[in-house]
Amino acid sequence: MATTRQNVLITGASSGLGAEMARQLAAKGHDLALCARRTEKLDTIKTGILAADPGRRVEVRALDVNDDDQVFEVFRAFQKDFGTIDRVIINAGLGKGAPIGTGRYDANRETAMTNFVAALAQSEAAMEIFRAQESGHFVMISSMSAFRGMPKTMTTYAATKAGVAHIAEGLRNEMYGKPIKVTVLYPGYIASEMNERVDPNKVKGMVSTEKGVRSMIDAIEKEKDSACVPPLPWAPMSVVMKHAPLGVLKRLM
Ligand SMILES: NC(=O)c1ccc[n+]([C@@H]2O[C@H](COP(=O)([O-])OP(=O)(O)OC[C@H]3O[C@@H](n4cnc5c(N)ncnc54)[C@H](OP(=O)(O)O)[C@@H]3O)[C@@H](O)[C@H]2O)c1
């Protein structure tokens, strides 16, 4: 690969996949710009990374991705800290939701705003930096649920994840042949705060945070266009989810 993508900005880095991506990328020698609302958690992650490797640089900042102005301020401040931001991982997300039409527009709206509108703001802020630098690696964390409209509590969440995948794919289309790369990851079930109340016996294919994130980092470092992570069972499952007749799909899932 032509570049090391030394300085990596991760949103939603205070827990789950974001925190573990920070740890695994630091172990590979990357320096990190980490943000989320819970800065005490970011500080703990920073302390752990520096204890393992005092040579790493880790900067942390408070960010609520639903505050548009703050998204641009924080991304620009990180760019000033490091000189360049070589990779941005748009990861902050929310798993709230209720069946549509059951009186919980508030929960579905919150998910739509955090997972889609705020991801658009993060995309704007990241691409502003990459366009000025004329280089960068844009990484969007979507979800396996993006491959098909999902029922009940998942309907809005899945729609946001399809939406953010399309933002990234649109950027890849625009950047074709140019030095700005775009990756979309479609995680299956990976243990995190988001699904800590889910019974692991009731969901097929749940993996540990460490294992799931290892395959995310593998796809990110290879700068794949897109990847279902972990690849098994999710890459073949994506074809089924996209193309199986609904009656067949409902018997499988
Ligand atoms: N785990 C899975 O199985 C799975 C599967 C598919 C996709 N994903 C996606 O992976 C990403 C990470 O999720 P996770 O599983 O690691 O869940 P998680 O442990 O709940 O982490 C979510 C992260 O997003 C941040 N976040 C949420 N709302 C935010 C806001 N308004 N402003 C800033 N940061 C915010 C949280 O930080 P603060 O609360 O500190 O702000 C936290 O760091 C999400 O986009 C999720 O949709 C996860």
Query: For residue range 132-147, what is the model confidence (pLDDT) as tens digits?
Result: 999 999 999 999 999 9
Q: In the structure encoding, which two tokens stand for residue 156, read together?
A: 């809005």
Q: 87: which strand partners? A: 8, 137
pLDDT, position 253? 79
Q: Hey, whose CA ends up nearest to atom 1 of ligand 1?
A: 190
Q: CB neighbours of 101 closer than 8 A, spacing ≥ 6?
A: none
pLDDT, position 177? 96
Q: Which of 122, 32, 129 is nearest to 69 (CA)?
A: 122
Q: Which of 52, 133, 38, 27 is nearest to 87 (CA)?
A: 133
Judge whether 17 and 190 are in contact, CB under 8 Å.
Answer: yes
Centre a 10 Å sphere on the Cβ of residue 78 and count the other Cβ atoms it contains.
23
* From 105, 157, 176, 189, active-site residue: 157
CA of 177 to the centre of ligand 1 (A): 32
CA of 157 to the centre of ligand 1 (A): 12
Query: Which amino acid does the sequence have at 72?
Result: F
Provide mean pLDDT across the span 30-55. 98
Judge whether 11 and 186 are in contact, CB under 8 Å.
Answer: no
Q: 51: number of CA atoms within 13 Å, CB side?
A: 6
Pocket test for ligand 1, best of 9, 10, 14, 185 (most atoms within 8 A of CB): 14
Residue 62 has pLDDT above 90, yes or no: yes
Residue 3 has pLDDT above 60, yes or no: no
List pocket residues of ligand 1, CB cut-off 6 Å. 12-18, 36-38, 63-66, 91-94, 114, 141, 143, 187, 189-190, 192-195
pTM: 0.98
Q: Is 157 a catalytic residue?
A: yes
Exposure class string for 108-123: b at 16+ Cβ within 10 A, else e: bebbbebbbbbbebbb
Provide mean pLDDT across the span 34-45. 98
